[in-house]
Structure 1
Amino acid sequence: MAGKMLKPQKKLLEQDHVLPYKIDVEGYLFQVVIFTKLGKISGITVLRSEDELASKEEALAVVQKLQKYNFYFEYLTKRTSIVKERDSTVAERIEQAQLILNNNILFGEKLQPEIDQLSLALEVYKQQQHKMDIYQEDIALLNEKIKEQGLIKEEDWKSAEDLSIAFMIAAYAQTIYLEATRDNRAALAKWFHQNQKQIPAEERKALAKMINVLSDTNGGLVFDQIISLLPLLEDGLLIDKSNPLPKRAQEFNMEYEAHCRFYKPNTNKISELIRNE
């Protein structure tokens, strides 16, 4: 039994978790067991069968593949833990309130360019969020499929890679447009509070609703949380941040796809956790 094999591997106060799917390496199926202590990974054991440990070399190859799969959705995992589902809720609220920003007479020549930039950024946010919601559902279905079949098949690797690329491309476009219009949001709020008495009642009500959606306790908070993850999106990539936003997004698309297709995990740290000796 696997439990008998794991007993010598398990240390004091550790919990063991057997992954619900096997990893295929050169035609052999391997089971991965993760040991945790106080919520952190403390060890990894790879089984070739229920009563046989894999060799250290085999274990390292298995863990590398596992690292690669985790890499595909590292950003999504981090974003989900920080932003949760509020990004989709904010997108819906923006959809309901943003019409007022299309009023080209209300804001005056000085503020209008900033409003136009903000309106574009919010449109990008909504469109990319809609895409990411769909991709996230597809990723959840893929993970459920893998769990049910108990194995990551070759076509699943391709699906995971393609979904990672699509999700990251959408997330990056969304993030850089939000980052570029932080000051625009502040300028709109300041202008509203200074001029609200002169704004016609209907427009004032609509604009107050928009300001509330973008406030620091609502959309603004979510936007800042998304922007805080920009370093994770750009990690390992060479992006010229001085480029105009469309070109910067295009550059990311090419860089990340190449990075993802040829990604090789660094096993220096993880190899110390492997208990296949």
Structure 2
Amino acid sequence: MRIAVTGASGKLGRAVVERLRASGNAVHALDVVGERGPGFTRVDFTDYGQTVDALFGIDDRHDGLDAVVHLAAAPAGGILPDSQTFHNNMSATFNVFQGARRAGIKTIVYASSETVLGIPFETPPPYIPLDEEYDTRPESIYSVTKHLEEQLAQKLVRWDPELSIAALRFSNVMDVADYAPFPSFDAGAGIRKWNLWGYIDARDGAQAVERALKLARPGFEAYIIAAADTVMSRSSASLAAEVFPSATITRELGEHETLLSIEKARRVLGFEPEHSWRDHA
């Protein structure tokens, strides 16, 4: 496939580019920052003209695409002022979605976020493990933007029955170098309760992207993408009981099972995490 990856210089973007190229795809790395090199083009996705131009074709790079992986965004709240977070992320996503449609690209996989589930869970989740059946409950401007991006995607696929958009609700993306502090989280159950003690190894995030590209069924689907385990040494059941006693536990939990359910991604995409922080502890 001929695939453009926006946000290709980011933590997840680098892993996605590496995996897709290793699988034999022609990958075009696009980002507002990054070093000049083969297959890389600097694009400001808040500029519609640049975005459309880059998706239609780039001299010495490509003359058309089969799919777009959209990862370009401020990756969390607080990095920019709230207004800039909204305008940057919403504009970039609209520009990529609309530009892809204008260019005749029918397959889009993009980074939504676990934050739409209610992070930082000051209001306890109604049940655990939390899954895609639970309605979105954004609690920040960053999360509101992710919610609105999903709403936009749902409307676009309704207008175009051939269009496929997969929203991957990534948990906190980690590289191996990020695992060193994980044992310190055991000092208190509340330290990482803000996202139900979840994370995702960037390499497994890239796996999810590749699987979503291969499936690419017309319509919109959202998937929670998290590691199979939590960031904690304690059992998942004990964490849920202590921190969220009012939440209904819907089934027996594995010892360190993720409380951000990945059952839909497993069932539909064939996603199966291959990496754990415990392998590097």
Please tell me the TM-score bracket, short chain as reference. Answer: under 0.3
Taking structure 2 as the reference length, the TM-score comes to: 0.23
Pick the structure with more helix per residue: 1
Taking structure 1 as the reference length, the TM-score comes to: 0.23
Greater Rg over alpha carbons, structure: 1
